[in-house]
Amino acid sequence: MHREHLVTAAPGVTLWAEERGDADAPALLLVMGAQAPGLAWPDELVDALAAHHRVIRYDHRDTGRSTWSFDSEPYAITDLADDALAVLDALGVDRAHVVGMSLGGMLAQLLLADHPERVRTATLIGTCALSTTPYTAPDGTVTPVEDLPSIDPRILEMWANRPEDLGPEAELDWRIEHWRLLNGDEIPFDAEAARAQERRILAHTGHARVSTAHGRAEHSGMIRTEALAATDVPTLVVSATAEPVFPPPHPQHLAQAIRGARVVEIPGMGHALPEPVLEPLTKAILAHTGA
């Protein structure tokens, strides 16, 4: 079953949401990264998860078919976590398995810290810990959070020089080069698959405008050191060996910061969801939610 919804998340803010799978199956909420709509979750992954779950994905504010309002009504990143709850509320979901990627992984941490009664399990992909706990390496070396590896400078340069109003085809070209870097250097990059995915997203969105809202939104008030260290929510951290945004040992640090969390490694994976990683990622998520 494939059902679409428009959810009122706040005054003047409507979110597009979609659900697939048996409506009576355990709910699983997919939370995407910054500036990425729900369609950035590949259909192949969504359908594989929907064989076991009522899978819900949605467009953040200022992405896809949701309200684009940041320039007139600025919001904080923490408001995006409230949006995720609004989606669950609107669809009548008391508790859900939550899978978050990148910024979505941070929002998932806010949910398990602030609303643990709503989260059955959490799966965190390509993200960093909302914690000030330092990282202790296997050899005993202690690294402060601020000294953990930073984002690939090639990606930072692309972000810093992001053109505006390129037009649809030039915008597509920019996005493909962006995905080429996010893909990492281990799995061969499939430019045509990435282009087809972005064409679907453009068609879904209805325009090629660029939003930088999530980068400009207020980022303060997100640290949850104590709550993460005390949580009872079963948490899985995906470690991607070719991750260029939050490279290892960020996943290992996450697993130390979140009580009881465990790590699963997906060789070759970067900060993207190309076809070769979908089967191992699906298996890891389903093993976690099934446990």
Contact 123, 45 (CB under 8 A): no
Hey, what amino acid is at 194? A
* Counted domains in the chain: 1
- SS3 state at 289: helix
CATH number at residue 87: 3.40.50.1820
156: which residues sit within 8 A by CB, 6+ positions away? none
Q: Which two tokens stand for residue 34?
A: 């910054």
CA pair distance 274, 242, nearest whole angstrom: 13
Residue 164 confidence (pLDDT): 78
Residue 1 confidence (pLDDT): 74
Contact 55, 96 (CB under 8 A): no
Say how many C-beta atoms besides its own lie within 10 A of residue 271's C-beta. 25
- SS3 state at 99: strand
CA pair distance 172, 196, nearest whole angstrom: 10
Per-residue model confidence as pLDDT tens for the chain (291 residues): 789 999 999 999 999 999 999 999 999 999 999 999 999 999 999 999 999 999 999 999 999 999 999 999 999 999 999 999 999 999 999 999 999 999 999 999 999 999 999 999 999 999 999 999 999 999 999 999 999 999 999 999 999 998 877 888 899 999 999 999 999 999 999 999 999 999 999 999 999 888 899 999 999 999 999 999 999 999 999 999 999 999 999 999 999 999 999 999 999 999 999 999 999 999 999 999 999
Alpha helices by DSSP H, listed for the chain, are 43-50, 77-90, 103-114, 153-160, 168-182, 191-205, 213-216, 225-230, 250-257, 275-290
User: pTM value?
Assistant: 0.98
- SS3 state at 157: helix
Full residue range of the structural domain in which residue 19 is found: 2-290
Q: Which two tokens stand for residue 178?
A: 């962006």
